[in-house]
Structure 1
Amino acid sequence: MKKNTSGPRFKALLEAANITTTGFAEFLDTAPQNVHNWYARGVPAHCMEEVARKLSVNSQWLKTGEGPKDPKELRLLDESGNTFDAQAIRGTYRVIEPTDVELPFYKEIAITPGPHKTQIIKDHSQSIRLPRSDLDSLEINHADAICARMIGNSMAEKIEDGSLLAIDRGLTQIIDGEIYAIEHDGMLRIKYLHRIPGNALRMRSHNSAEYPDEIFRAAQIEEQNIRVLGWVFWWSTLNKRRPPVPFL
């Protein structure tokens, strides 16, 4: 069996296409560290075909450096002994930087046993995708972006109940008047935040008629386990009422 020496060729292909380690990792839905390890260890056998297809090269060439590099030059035999162009079967592939970033989903759940106690956990069954260009324009590290769902009408009519939210965990410093996701003793809250002298904090709702301002002193912030999860930079709201069409 030929030795897998694909690491340097794999790295050179990415460099030639100006593809970053992180970008290709997102394209393959794997960790960047895995891709980085392949530079030295070689592309794993179970990934070789997929990686070769995405880079438009012959997998055998990628693995050993032998044979044609271009898969269009690869000929195979069918069951009748006839030759055919492997590329015609495999399709034409080209590397495309992923246009979207997948954001993990976090939610508030009840803790049992316990009276009305909740905690915020990652829900592996859900996620949302946002254009990577939007995150890049806001200088948001893709790994810091998470999503959650608005609960309640305290931010209506700005952010309606049930809206999906995107949160930048890389920005937890409070900038007065910005919207943040807060974990308040296991409860997920979305509020405008304002700093108050003495390391105090004001939480303000958009629906201030029903939800008056809340002020927490430094001791209360610690006692009630209040921490800023991150800055809310995106939200999506579905209009829950379809307007009737008149004159039908």
Structure 2
Amino acid sequence: MKKNKTCGARFKMLLEEANITTTAFAEFLKINKPQNVHNWYTRGVPHYRMEQVARRLSVNSEWLKIGEGPKNASELRLCDESGNTFDAQAIRGTYRVIEPTDVELPFYKETVITPGSNKTHVIKDPGQSIRLPRSDLDSLEINHADAICARMIGNSMTEKIDDGSIVAIDRGLTQIVDGEIYAIEHDGMLRIKYLHRVPGNAIRMRSHNSAEYPDEVFRTAQIEEQNIRVLGWVFWWSTLNKRRPAIPFL
């Protein structure tokens, strides 16, 4: 997570000037752990939150980041990710969320490399995207640019993630935490599994539907030979009811 430690003192000064505690500011940003915001005093504001924090405090983000340029953003027209502009000074002291509250996530899918081929790969689908609440990503400290979506295929995770469900993936977290759910590209196949580390740099893939899908263990050589790559941590999934109930007595 890229940070600029030198901005911590400026961030602290701004909160003190506005008489805002780190706890209150964390609540405003929908960050569940106020200590994370307090740590910005010494560690600096995370790079991916710099623009957001600058907008909330109505200052120039370059000034907050490196201490150069004008401090106040009273004459600055700011642009958010969707291209909407607003006057930063207009929200000084009110902390009203006026920019879009959703983040649009690109959609990835497994598809054949060439027509008629049995070989697949995982690529971006330019025709699809999914919108998730910005606050949900921020609460998990997920960089918006790292978040993607894909669709669950098959019943290996049934009763947890049903076939056809959409999953959201944080590509910024690829380190395996035992028992967490990850998206994996396995020789071109998109798989959603629980992952566990195994001694010898091996990994275990576990399905929720373990009765039909027994555990799979892959040693280091197999991981390389079978092109197994962790795409990221699965942090959200949808479940759509498979049928609409029939209305009786009609």
Same fold by TM-score greater than 0.5: yes
2:155 match: 153
CA distance, structure 1, for counterparts of residue 60 and residue 163 of structure 2:
40
Task: Name the structure 2 match of 1:141.
Answer: 143
Question: Per-residue deviation at 1:156?
Answer: 0.4
Structure 2: distance between partners of 1:187 and 1:235: 19
Q: Which residue in the other structure is 1:26 paired with?
A: 81
Among 154, 172, 181, the alignment partner of 1:179 is 181
Quote the Cα distance in structure 1 between the aligned partners of 2:113 and 2:184: 18
Deviation at 1:98, TM superposition (A): 1.9
Please, which of 166, 173, 180 is the counterpart of residue 168 of structure 2? 166
Structure 2 segments unaligned to the other structure (5+ residues): 1-53, 63-77, 90-95
CA displacement 1:154-187 (0-9 Å, x = unmatched)? 1101111111110000000000000000000111
Q: Give the counterpart letter for 1:110 in structure 2.
A: V
Q: Does 1:224 align with 2:226?
A: yes
Change (3 A) 1:17 1:153: same
Does the aligned pair in 1 maintain the 2:112–2:121 contact within 8 Å? yes
Task: State the SS of the aligned residue for 1:26.
Answer: coil
Q: Give the letter aligned to residue 81 of structure 2.
A: E
Task: Note the C-alpha offset of 1:247.
Answer: 4.7
- Report the RMSD for the aligned CA atoms in angstroms: 2.6
Q: Give 2:100's aligned residue.
A: 98
Question: Aligned residue pairs: how many?
Answer: 176
Q: Deviations over 1:67-107 (max 9, x none)?
A: xxxxxxxxxxxxxxxxxxxxxxxxxxx98222011101111
**Larger Rg, first or second structure (1 or 2):** 1
Residue-by-residue CA offset, 1:186-239 (whole Å, 9 max, x unaligned) = 110000000000011100011111111111011000000001000000000100
Using a 3 Å threshold, how does the CA distance of structure 1 residues 19 and 101 change in structure 2: closer, same or farther?
farther
Aligned-pair CA distance for 1:27: 3.2
Question: Offset at 1:112?
Answer: 1.8
Residues 213 and 95 (structure 1 numbering): CA distance in 2 closer, same or farther, change over 3 Å? Answer: closer
Match of 2:235 among 233, 237, 247: 233
- Shift in CA distance, 213/221, structure 1 to aligned 2, threshold 3 Å: same
For 1:124 and 1:241, how far apart are their aligned partners in 2? 29
**Does 2:180 align with 1:125?**
no
CA distance in 2: counterparts of 1:95 and 1:133, whole angstroms: 11
Q: Does the 8 Å CA contact 1:24/1:97 hold for their aligned counterparts?
A: no
Kept after mapping to 2: 8 A contact 1:55/1:95: no
CA–CA distance in structure 2, aligned partners of residues 20 and 162 of structure 1: 42
5 Å-filtered alignment, 1:42-81, equals 51=85, 54-55=86-87
Unaligned stretches of 5+ residues in structure 1: 1-12, 29-49, 58-93
* Residues 157 and 208, structure 2, Cα contact 8 Å, conserved in 1: yes
Under a length normalisation based on structure 1, what TM-score does the superposition of the two structures give?
A: 0.64
* Secondary structure, counterpart of 1:222 in structure 2: helix
Q: Does residue 244 in structure 1 map to residue 242 in structure 2?
A: no
Q: Deviations over 1:2-23 (max 9, x none)?
A: xxxxxxxxxxx968746869x8
Structure 1 vs Structure 2: percent identity of aligned residues?
78
Superposition TM-score, scaled by structure 2 size: 0.64
Gap change, CA 1:15 and 1:192, over 3 Å in 2: closer
Paired with 1:16 and 1:239, the residues of 2 have a C-alpha distance of 43
Alpha-carbon contact 2:183-2:233 (below 8 Å) kept? yes
